[in-house]
Amino acid sequence: MNFSEINDLAIGNCLSESLNGEVYEAVLDGRDVIYRIPPTGSIEGDIYKKYYNRKGMMSLIGFYQGGLVLEKGGKNLGECVNHPEMLITYQQFDEVAGFLDVLHSDGYLHRDIQPGNLVTKHHKFCLIDFGLTRTIESRGDKVDPSHTVLRYASINQLKGINESICDDNYSFALCLAYAFSKKTPWGTLGGAPLISTINMDIFPRDYGLNFRNFLAQLSSDLSYSSAKIPFDVYSILSEM
């Protein structure tokens, strides 16, 4: 699909500014949208064009002065967890899990999966902000910072080396642990001990034995030196 240059966009408050880019409130033809300026050298625009209208991510509307104009989502995962009247269910993650599998199978790593980058769309969670996304083959031993919220980064991502699909999946698993336990990783215990509590009652009993077993295996391996763990998020969720 061809995306045209937008001629007139009313840009409002800055929502965030980090190494992952800048995000602003904006209005396009009376419609609330998001205006995003990716970091220098980012492939974010290519990602939004490649996966236009795919479930599990927000849609690209067009371009404005070098930035991206995107549809606006609802609350992010952190806001949902802290909302006293919101009930989070595992079905809300099936579309983003499916998209994450596609992204990985096409050779990309998101590299910044954290609650602020999981937002609601029609009561489902979507993945946003691809400013730090890289191809898997470009990673190798290259030192390249990832993650704007370090508590959701794997050891390899904290070091900026040897990243693989397993590192994205680790971050996604921590987000799920946070969603259902309401406990922030690396608060007092750390990421792996938090995940290991899945065999207790923190996770809903219907969340799926396969997924719990995966998290238990993941929490016992802190090297993440290679993609040792076969992981198809969507298949696991679909079996629940």
CATH level 2 (architecture), domain 10-71: 2-Layer Sandwich (3.30)
**Do residues 195 and 174 lie in contact, with contact meaning Cβ atoms separated by under 8 Å?**
yes
Q: What dihedral angle (degrees, nearest 10) is formed by the CA atoms of 157, 56, 179, 177?
A: -40
111-127 pLDDT, tens digit each = 889 999 999 999 999 99
Say yes or no to pLDDT of 129 above 70: yes
Provide the sign of the torsion angle of the four alpha carbons 218, 222, 224, 228, taken in this order.
negative
Per domain, the residue ranges of the chain are: 10-71, 77-238
37-82 pLDDT, tens digit each = 998 889 999 999 999 989 999 999 999 999 999 999 999 999 999 9
Distance CA 39, CA 88 (A): 32
pTM (predicted TM-score) = 0.78
- Treating both helix axes as pointing N-terminal to C-terminal, what angle do 94-105 and 165-181 enclose, rounded to 10 degrees? 170
- What percent of the chain is modeled with pLDDT above 90? 38
CATH number of 77-238: 1.10.510.10
Q: What are the residues facing 108 on neighbouring strands?
A: 135
Residue 171: per-residue pLDDT: 86
Average pLDDT, the chain: 77
186-228 pLDDT, tens digit each = 654 444 444 444 444 444 444 445 555 555 555 444 333 333 3
Let me know if the fold of 10-71 is the same as that of 77-238.
Answer: no
Residue 1: per-residue pLDDT: 64
Distance CA 141, CA 144 (A): 9
